[in-house]
Amino acid sequence: MQSELRSRMQNPVALLPAAQRPIQELFKAVHSGGVDAETLELVHLRVSQINGCAACVDAGSKTARKAGVSDERLATVVTWREAPYFTPEERAALELAEAATRLADRPDAVSDEVWDTAATYYDEKQLAAIILMVGVTNLFNRLNATTRQIAGAWG
């Protein structure tokens, strides 16, 4: 029997509200970079899956659905390489997101091949938006997983 799920503490951003505005500004910047909202939400969801952040996977699935991501794509983003539902551009963004999240998994964390593939579909401003989405998502994943934020607790 599983014990009751409880967070260790309130979300750190809620405890330090001065952090909230800069994070919101980062999200605004990400969404002004010219990358389709569905792609950004898929990136967020995939990074959160890799990091095992239940709260972010839950919230990310809901946000992705609101952005227009289909149920098929939500269900298979974890296996995007084998699923037929993703465009070449999305695959490049997801591959970049995975590499940038799993920095310690290989000596050349983000290989030239991964970068060059993404750069064939996205200009520098768009690449910056994807990288910022990866970074902000990793930030939230670390805050939420460390403090054991509960999936669905935010509404």
Which domains, ranges and CATH numbers included, belong to the chain? 34-146 (1.20.1290.10)
Closest by Cα among 122, 124, 93, 133 to 110: 93
**pTM, full prediction:** 0.92
pLDDT digits (tens, 9 = 90+) for 99-146: 999 999 989 999 999 999 999 999 999 999 999 999 999 999 999 999
Quickly tell me which residue has 């460390």 as its tokens. 146
- Residue 91, both tokens: 């695959």
CA distance linking residue 151 with residue 147, whole number of Å: 12
Which residues touch 68 (CB under 8 Å, ≥6 apart)?
37, 38
pLDDT digits (tens, 9 = 90+) for 79-105: 999 999 999 999 999 999 999 999 999
Looking at residue 3, its pLDDT comes to 57
